[in-house]
Amino acid sequence: MSGPDLSGSIVLVTGGTGSFGHAFVRHVLDHHQPAAVRIFSRDELKQWEKQRRFGDDPRLRFLIGDVRDGDRLRRAFDGVDVVVHAAALKHVPVCEYNPFEAVQTNVIGAENVVSAAIDAAVPRTIALSTDKAVNPVNLYGATKLCAEKIVAQGNAYSGGSVARFASVRYGNVVGSRGSVVPLFLEQAKSGSVTITDESMTRFWITLDQSVRFVLDCLGRMEGGETFVPKIPSARILDIADAVAPGAERRLIGIRPGEKLHEVLLTADEARHTAEFDTYYAIYPSFPSWRSTPYPAGKEVPAGTTYSSDANAQWLDAEGIRALIETDASG
């Protein structure tokens, strides 16, 4: 069993019909004994499809709503013990073309989640972030950086309430909607795949690993942390070899708002970060709500960065295939 004891708890997942939400709900129902799991999302078709996939589990509750709607969130959060905030607009080109909408969902939505959790005295709320929030070069990353800050400082707003807030920040999820793996699989049918830059690298994590990491962090969070897992990197060419062996490679150039390499921990953040065996905990630089120190962990040397091109862990084509197969079987 991963993470805290959720026996008898009411768990709510915003964006609960997405890739992560589905895997998280499945894991919690199978391995924990929650009193109820509330799936909060705005797409009734996806909710209907999810109901059919999960059957008639009496612990499931399906709530139509949008994180932009604070009143609806406050109603949904009533009596909740744990919130996992996974709702977001996450496709880079979509956010670039619709900037106001990205801000409304990713930034104002995060503020609404924090406010509703404080009003409902939800003890633990954890938000999903992304490596693109680090030194952002596109609007999606910028909105997720804002969301991280809003979630961390929610602990200052909660005052004497039991409500506490933290974030998790990790890399690309194997097989999630919009990732390069399903793109390459689809392109491989035509005999060729598109490569933006041959030197590109990315962090990789499976859906199951991301679910377990979120649960672990729910158990260890004290409020204000941004948790970063230690995960492997992969080169884009190795991903192409793993997913579409023998396919022609067409170089198309790096796209607007895209990086060659991703970063999960910056040198500036290293000054207030603790290292543990399997993760980093980035602590807020000014935790005004705390009178005691955070867990010490191992001191991170000054100037340390954690980037996909300078990682200690690497996946070759065989390792990528194994990761994909493991994720599919999970």
Could you report the per-residue pLDDT of 135-185, keeping only the tens digit for each?
Answer: 999 999 999 999 999 999 999 999 889 999 999 999 889 867 667 888 888
Q: Model confidence over 263-301: pLDDT tens digits? A: 999 999 999 999 999 999 999 998 999 999 999 999 999
Question: Locate tokens 């230690």: which residue?
Answer: 230
**Catalytic residue, candidates 50, 90, 132, 259:** 132
Question: Rounded distance, CA 197 to CA 261, Å?
Answer: 11
Strand partners, 253: none
Mean pLDDT of 70-92: 97
Mean pLDDT of all residues in 221-245? 95
Delineate the domains of the chain, giving CATH numbers in brackets. 10-170+205-229+263-305 (3.40.50.720)
Q: Is the pLDDT of residue 201 over 80?
A: yes
pLDDT digits (tens, 9 = 90+) for 105-134: 999 999 999 999 999 999 999 999 999 999
CA distance 238 to 321: 10
- Is 230 an annotated catalytic residue? no
Quote the tokens at residue 62: 């399906």
Q: Which of 150, 82, 90 is nearest to 120 (CA)?
A: 82
